[in-house]
C-alpha cells in the first residue's frame, strides 16, 4: 500500500529533477520515482540523505509512513503497559513514564 510522501513536492520546490536528486543520493532515478509515489519505503540512510538535502525530517517527508509506524508502536506500548500490571517498583515506574511521554507525543503529533 502506498504511503503519503512529500518528496516530490519538496524536490520540485527546489527545482531538482528526479535524475538530479538521484545523483545527489547516489541512487537511480527509478528509485526516486518509486519513493515519490509511495511505492517504496526508503531505508534509514536514504531518509537521512533526504534530510541532509532538504533540511526536513523523515517524519515531515513521509507522514503516512510515520503515522503507520506510530500506530504500530503505540499498540505495542499499550500491550507493554497492560503486561506491567499493578507493580510499583522503580523499573516499572520508569517504563510507565516513558510510555506516558510516548502517548503525549503521539497525541500532540500533527495528523498526516
User: In which element (H, E) is residue 12 found?
Assistant: helix 7-13
Cβ within 8 Å of residue 64, ≥6 positions away = 2, 3, 4, 5, 38, 112
Per-residue pLDDT reduced to its tens digit, 29-88: 999 999 999 999 999 999 999 999 999 999 999 999 999 999 999 999 999 999 999 999
Q: What is the pTM of this model?
A: 0.82
In angstroms, rounded to a whole number, what is the distance separating the alpha carbons of residues 22 and 53? 11
Q: Which long-range contacts (CB under 8 A, 24 or more apart) does 69-78 make?
A: 70/106, 70/109, 73/102, 74/102, 74/103, 74/106, 77/102, 77/103
In angstroms, rounded to a whole number, what is the distance separating the alpha carbons of residues 22 and 29? 5
In angstroms, rounded to a whole number, what is the distance separating the alpha carbons of residues 15 and 92? 51
Per-residue pLDDT reduced to its tens digit, 3-14: 789 999 999 999
Amino acid at each position: 500500500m502506498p504511503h503519503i510522501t512529500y518528496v516530490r513536492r519538496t524536490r520540485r520546490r527546489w527545482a531538482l529533477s528526479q535524475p538530479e536528486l538521484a545523483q545527489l543520493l547516489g541512487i537511480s532515478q527509478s528509485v526516486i520515482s518509486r519513493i515519490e509515489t509511495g511505492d517504496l519505503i526508503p531505508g534509514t540512510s536514504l531518509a537521512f540523505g533526504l534530510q541532509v538535502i532538504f533540511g526536513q525530517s523523515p517524519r515531515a517527508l513521509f507522514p503516512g509512513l510515520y503515522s503507520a509506524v506510530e500506530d504500530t508502536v503505540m499498540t505495542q506500548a499499550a500491550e507493554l503497559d497492560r503486561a506491567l500490571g499493578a507493580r510499583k517498583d522503580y523499573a516499572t515506574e520508569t517504563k510507565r513514564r516513558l510510555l506516558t511521554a510516548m502517548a503525549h507525543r503521539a497525541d500532540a503529533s500533527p495528523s498526516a
